Amino acid sequence: MTLLGENHITEEGQFVINMGPQHPATHGVLHLKIWLDGETIKKIEPHLGYIHRSIEKMCESLTYRQYIYTTSRMDYLSAHMNNQACALAVEKGLQIEASPRAQAIRVILAELTRLASHQLWWAATGLDLGGVTPFFYAFREREAINNILEETCGTRLTQNFVVPGGIMYDIHPNFQNHVKQVIKQIKDNFHEYDEILTGNVIFQNRLQGVGYISKEDAISYGCTGPTARASGVSCDIRKQFPYDGYDKIQFDEIIATGGDCWARYEVRMAEMLQSVHIIEQLIDNIPEGDFQTKTKAVLKLPKGEFYQRVETARGELGVYLVSDGAATPYRCKFRSPGFSNLSAIPHMAKEAKIGDLMAIMATVDLVIPDIDR
């Protein structure tokens, strides 16, 4: 076995392994080059681009109606929130606002998507730490949510339901009943999540004290979403820069101060219940009215720059539109939450074990197409 050379064993005796692009725990094609001393991680360097589709360049030749739907393929687990952000950016440029009915439906769908995303995250966290069973428990509820999304939006994963000025169609007649059923199912079954994973001693020991990041570092690395909130950073865009009527809804911003994987786990678990709470408030009070504001067939944004921030399941998504007055964006930049959260992983995983890296990647909840765009 020949393992000499810079890419195998360094001069300091560090063992270099390439985790990914095809590895069971990187949730896609993330490639991390890792320098190991025994089992201890000394340095991590992310290598990206294996699934880069240059969405930003594509958007420069798509109209303001079309470009929304490329973003479903960025963070495919919060596809609806991505679409929402893009539509809101266009609405900001056109200086229109979606009707109250459309806003309420958007918020319900966004929270359903967040629930589905967090359930997949919970399932994958269990799986990454070696427990296969949680996966099936989380997917039981996720399937039910996806069925609702399919019924109303037509697709299960990339909903593409948002248009500038509202939503594409009105909701399915069964929507409200089915959402209520799912909410009840989640509330009834939530204790099983705690029984199978949260209360498990091995699981707690795997997460507690692992992957610590301080509040200052979390801000400096640009962490957002549950990753930052677990370090005590108040960063919920829904509270700070409310959009689509989030300011009229009662909910708590979950903040923990632990900063480790366990804090991130707890924040996400509590966020699921908050999403349930938001949906409960809205589902019986969807206002009557139009589901779409009338817009022109060809949208043209005035000259200028429009920045829209949205809280997706992973953190803050920013859509930065630069318009020169034409029917297509001059420049379109997506500030994706995963990209900034990824940059904190080498910091979190320093001096951790290989097994800890799995816990860190699982609790930061990376989605690779979101990072690569």
Partner 1 sequence: MHLWLRAAISSDLLLLVTEMVIIGVSLIVFLVLLCFFLGWMERKVAAFMEIRLGPNRVGPMGSMQIVADTVKLLFKEGLTPNASDKFLFNLAPGIMVVTSMLAVAPIAFAKNFQIWDVNIGVLYVSSISSMAVIGILMAGWSSSNKYSLIGAMRSGAQIVSYELSIGLSLISIVILSGSLQLSEIVESQANGWWLFKGHIPVIISFVIFVIASTAEINRAPFDLTEAEQELTGGFHTEYSGMKFAMFLLSEYINLFIVSAIAATIFLGGWMPLHIGTWASFNHIMDFIPSSIWFLGKTFFIIFIIMQFRWTFPRLRIDQLLNLEWKYLLPISMVNIIIVTAMAIFGWHF
Partner 2 sequence: MTKEELKSAISLSSPTVTYDESGEFLTVLITPDDLLPLMNILRSKAEFEFDYLFCLTCIDWKDHLMMVYHLQSRTHQHCLVVKAKITDTLQPKIESVNNIWKTAELHEDEVFDLFGVTFLNHPNLRRLFLEADWNGFPLRKNYTDENMIKL
For residue 33, state whether it binds partner 1 (rule: CB under 8 A): no
Query: Residue 244, class by beta-carbon neighbours within 10 Å (0-12 exposed, 13-18 middle, 19+ buried)?
Result: buried
Assign 331 to helix, strand or coil: strand
Please identify, using beta-carbon distances, which residue of 217 and 290 lies nearer to partner 2.
217
| Binding partner of 206, given partner 1, partner 2, none, CB within 5-8 angstroms per partner class | partner 1
CB 135 within 8 A of CB 123: yes
Site string for partner 1, 57-96 (x = CB under 8 A): ----------------------------------------
Q: How far is CA 342 from each of CA 32, 261, 318, rounded to the nearest angstrom?
A: 11, 14, 16
Q: How far is CA 8 from the centre of its chain?
A: 35
**Minimum distance between the CB of residue 143 and partner 1, rounded to whole angstroms?**
12
A 10 A CB-CB count for 322 gives: 16
CB atoms within 10 A of CB 367: 24
Q: Beta strand pairing status for 31-37 and 15-19?
A: antiparallel
Contact flag: residue 350 with partner 2 (CB under 8 A): no
Q: In 3D, which of 288, 282, 233 has the Cα closest to residue 256?
A: 233
Radius of gyration of the chain (CA): 21
Check binding of 132 to partner 1 (CB under 8 A).
yes
* Residues 73 and 55: beta-carbon distance below 8 Å: yes
Q: Does 339 bind partner 1 (CB under 8 A)?
A: no
The single residue among 49, 61, 130, 187 that binds partner 1, judged by CB under 8 A, is 130
23 binds partner 1 per the rule CB under 8 A: yes
Does residue number 343 form part of the binding site for partner 2 (CB under 8 A)? yes
307 binds partner 2 (CB under 8 A): yes
Least Å distance, CB 132 to partner 1, is 7
List the structure tokens of 284. 């019986």
User: Which residues form the interface with partner 1 (CB under 8 A)?
Assistant: 1-3, 8, 15, 17, 23-25, 39, 126-133, 135-137, 140, 196-197, 200, 202-203, 205-206, 353-358
User: Which residues form the interface with partner 2 (CB under 8 A)?
Assistant: 45-49, 52, 54, 56-58, 61-62, 92, 216-217, 219-222, 224, 233-235, 240, 304-307, 309, 316, 318, 320, 322, 330-331, 333, 335, 339-340, 342-344, 347, 372
